[in-house]
Amino acid sequence: MLGLQEYLQSYRSDPAIKIVEWEKQEGLVEVPSRDLPEVLTYCLAMWPRLMWLTHVVNDERQLGNGFCIYLVLHFPGKDFSLTLVAKGIESNFPTLASIYPALNWSEREVQDLFGLQAVGHPDPRSLVLHPGWPKGFHPLRKDYKAGKESKEFKRAPLVFPEMLGDGIFQVPVGPIHAGIIEPGHFRFYTIGEAVLHLEAQLFFTHKGIEKLIEGKSIQEGLRIIERVCGVCTVSHALAYCEAVEKLANLEVSRSVLLWRTILAELERVYNHVGDIGNMCAGVGFALGNANGSQCKERLQRLNLEFFGHRFLRGAVVPGGIKSIPSPKASEAILNRLLELSHDFEEWIPMLLTHDGYRQRAVTTGVLKLEDALNFGVTGPAARASGIPNDWRELHAHLCYPELKVKSMTEQEGDCWSRLTVRVKETRESFRFLHTLLSEGMKKPEPEIERLKLFSDHKFHAWQPAWGCVESPRGTDVVWLMLDEEAKIYRCRVRSASYANWPVVPLTVPGNIVPDFPLINKSFELCYSCCDR
């Protein structure tokens, strides 16, 4: 990364670029907001596979910094992450979305929630806040105190582009859907059966979690973070704990790492088998759906039995894990998993060799490599389009370096590829769990990491820290800043779904409307952790 460091050092600007920190894996550089577009253009030109981890705006006016932008980038292959900080923003900043479309939503969100203007933004419509909120309502500004605004919300029509021409129809769907799924509004512009264009209006489940969490203690924060998304509980909790532990300069013990990895993989397995089943539901293929859901149910029961919660809530705590199962329990878990993985190998071929299903899924909903890169797509969706980005491989953390994780990729980018990526990853996860649990079995009864130790820790106040975990849907990032009483000052959750939603509408045109359920399920994104 020397080239980048030299570039930044020799960059002429006023005030000058300040390299605050530059270590092996992480860097923090202050760049005037005016120069951010140029620096980002340079990075993108030099490292086309650059990943964005998160984009955070923080109201630091009380610290005399004005509003600050934190843009965290990762350089795959180098295991290096760079935070670019632009301080002293007053009311506007030059947009980055026109250079790097991945930041499109994030900047629109900033316009809504902070009332700052992204100058030159290609699509400045509101995003998170639907039309109908009182004027000047920017809840993430520190001078906003929760009031009666929710009562003043008046429904106003959502804004959609017009599309005119002979035989063009608009098909509105949602926000309430048929079936047990989350709310979102989709508007299909169709000609005949083919979709010309799709607009997705999300954020119906926006609750204001990032405001709610401010001022809460670290423990209270964890409870909320675990509930940002029901099915990625462990990933969010781990990312949050990683950030907290960075701020406490805390290294957790080997057995904690081991069990955290096991939890993360258990979460991946139960989600992946469920998602494989759901994809079948998307085309009405009952056999696949039944097998997927029943396998998922068994895995969730295992979670309940050994970790106390079907979604593994409460298992991860800052500084440790709640309880470490005994070697005997590890053996029991392992045996159960072996059974389930045999079962998996029995039903998976039935899907993969099913002609009708194959024909529906192959060439459906293609995500082009170029789009995936531009929009910073993550997770199985990115890997199915040929981008070998798996956070478990890119970044040395937990027990992943020993497991030698390889990103499972496919090249076509269609629904079938996303299915095969999931199948391969499930197999890998079963294998990892086997290795990890065998280690858990060998160890004598390990002493439980004490939480008490943790609460005595000193935390760095007013410093940014991030944590990152590969969830079943992609890389989840939690960004955190604490105040001097170790209360949360700002916490931003960039979930994998948030990163991936913008590309879903791009994959639909050219397909027919009945293919949408399949395409949507092949991405299997949450609404809740996107809307927050």
Partner 1 sequence: MWSLLLRKLKMGRLTEKNGNSLTPHMASNLPLKFRKSLQIRHLDCGSCNGCDWEMAALGNSLYDHQHFGIDFVASPRHADLLMCTGPGSTQLLNAARETYEAMAKPKWVMAVGDCAINGGVFKGAYATEGGIDGILQVDIKVPGCPPKPDDLIKALLEFMGKR
Residue ranges binding ligand SF4 (CB under 6 A): 227, 230
- Residue-wise burial string across 308-328, b where 16 or more C-beta atoms lie within 10 A, e elsewhere: eebbbbbbbbbbbbebbbebe
Q: Which of 1, 19, 168, 181 is close enough to bind partner 1 by CB under 8 A?
A: 181
Pairing of strands 316-317, 185-191: unpaired
Interacting stretch for partner 1, rule CB under 8 A, among 73-81, 125-133, 420-428, 452-460?
Answer: 125-133
| Segment contacting partner 1 by CB under 8 A, of 36-44, 285-293, 316-324, 369-377 | 285-293
* Identity of the residue, 240 or 347, whose beta carbon is nearer to ligand SF4 in the bound complex: 240
Closest CA to 267 of 302, 311, 228: 311
CA–CA dist 387, 174 (Å, integer): 32
Site for partner 1 in 334-373 (CB under 8 A): 346-347, 349-350
Smallest separation, CB 343 to ligand SF4 (Å): 27
Identify whether the C-beta of residue 31 lies closer than 8 Å to the C-beta of residue 20: no
Backbone angle region of 376, left / alpha / beta, with phi > 0 → left and psi within -120 to 50 → alpha: left
523 part of the interface to partner 1, by CB under 8 A: no
Rounded to the nearest whole angstrom, what is the least distance from the CB of residue 97 to partner 1 in the complex? Answer: 23
Could you tell me if 288 and 422 are in contact, meaning their C-beta atoms sit under 8 angstroms apart?
no
- 180 interacts with partner 1 by CB under 8 A: yes
231 binds, among ligand SF4, partner 1, none (CB under 5 to 8 A by kind): partner 1
Cα–Cα distance, 35 to 51 (Å, whole number):
20
With CB under 8 A as the contact rule, the residue among 197, 313, 422, 473 that binds partner 1 is: 313
- Tell me if 219 contacts partner 1 by CB under 8 A: no
Residues 238-273 as b or e (16 or more Cβ within 10 Å = b): bbbbbbbbbbbebebeebbbbbbbbbbbbbbbbbbb
Q: Among residues 231, 419, 423, 488, which is the contact residue for partner 1, using CB under 8 A?
A: 231
By three-state DSSP, how is residue 159 classified? coil
Residue with smaller CB distance to ligand SF4, 419 or 529 = 529
Q: How far is the CB of 155 from ligand SF4 (least distance, A)?
A: 23
Q: Tell me which residue of 499, 485, 498 sits closest to 530, measured CA to CA.
A: 498
Q: Is 443 in the site for partner 1 (CB under 8 A)?
A: no
Round to whole Å and give the CA distance between 304 and 319: 22
DSSP E strand boundaries for 64-184: 66-75, 80-89, 92-94, 117-119, 168-173
Residue 413 carries which side chain, given as an amino acid letter? G
Closer of 94 and 314 to partner 1 (Cβ): 314
User: In 97-237, which ranges are E strands?
Assistant: 117-119, 168-173, 185-191, 194-201
For partner 1, which residue of 98, 205, 217, 326 counts as binding (CB under 8 A)? 205
In angstroms, give the least distance from the CB of 230 to ligand SF4: 5
The binder of 443, among ligand SF4, partner 1, none, by C-beta within 5 to 8 A per type, is: none
Residue 45 site contact among ligand SF4, partner 1, none (CB < 5 to 8 Å, cut-off depends on kind): none
160 lies in the binding site for partner 1 (CB under 8 A):
no
Q: How many angstroms separate the CA atoms of 417 and 399, rounded?
A: 27
Is 418 a binder of partner 1 (CB under 8 A)?
no
* 139 binding partner 1? (CB under 8 A): yes
Q: In 138-250, where do the E strands start and end?
A: 168-173, 185-191, 194-201
Contact between residue 143 and residue 62 where contact means Cβ atoms under 8 Å apart = no
205 or 293, CB closer to ligand SF4? 205
146 binds, among partner 1, ligand SF4, none (CB under 5 to 8 A by kind): partner 1
Report in angstroms the alpha-carbon separations of 473 from 272, 421, 435, 501.
9, 12, 23, 11
Cβ 302 to ligand SF4 shortest distance, Å: 19
Does residue 66 come out as left (phi exceeding 0), alpha (psi in the -120 to 50 range) or beta?
left
Rounded Cα distance between 17 and 78, Å, is: 22
Contact with partner 1 (CB under 8 A): which of 18, 49, 207, 434?
A: 207
As measured in angstroms, the least distance from the Cβ of 56 to partner 1 is 19
Closer CB to ligand SF4, residue 120 or residue 230?
A: 230
Binding partner of residue 78 among ligand SF4, partner 1, none, CB cut-off 5 to 8 Å per kind = none
Contact between 111 and partner 1 (CB under 8 A)?
A: no
| 172 binds, options ligand SF4, partner 1, none, Cβ within 5 to 8 A by partner type | none
Determine if 100 is a binding residue for partner 1 (CB under 8 A).
no
Q: Segment contacting partner 1 (CB under 8 A): 17-25, 150-158, 187-195, 461-469?
A: 150-158
CA 274 to chain CA centroid, nearest Å: 18
Nearer to partner 1, 36 or 299 (CB): 299
Question: How many C-alpha atoms does 500 have within 13 Å on its Cβ side?
Answer: 29
Judged by CB under 8 A, does residue 159 bind partner 1? no
* Binding status of residue 424 toward partner 1 by CB under 8 A: no
Q: What is the DSSP letter of 514?
A: G
What minimum distance in Å lies between the beta carbon of 450 and partner 1? 25
One-letter amino acid for residue 396 of the chain: A
| 472 lies in the site for partner 1, by CB under 8 A | no
Token representation of residue 166: 């002979």
Contact footprint for partner 1 (CB under 8 A) = 129-130, 132, 139, 146-147, 149-150, 153, 155, 175-176, 178-183, 203-209, 211-212, 223-224, 227-231, 233, 287, 290, 293-294, 296-298, 300, 304, 310-311, 313, 346-347, 349-350, 526-529, 531
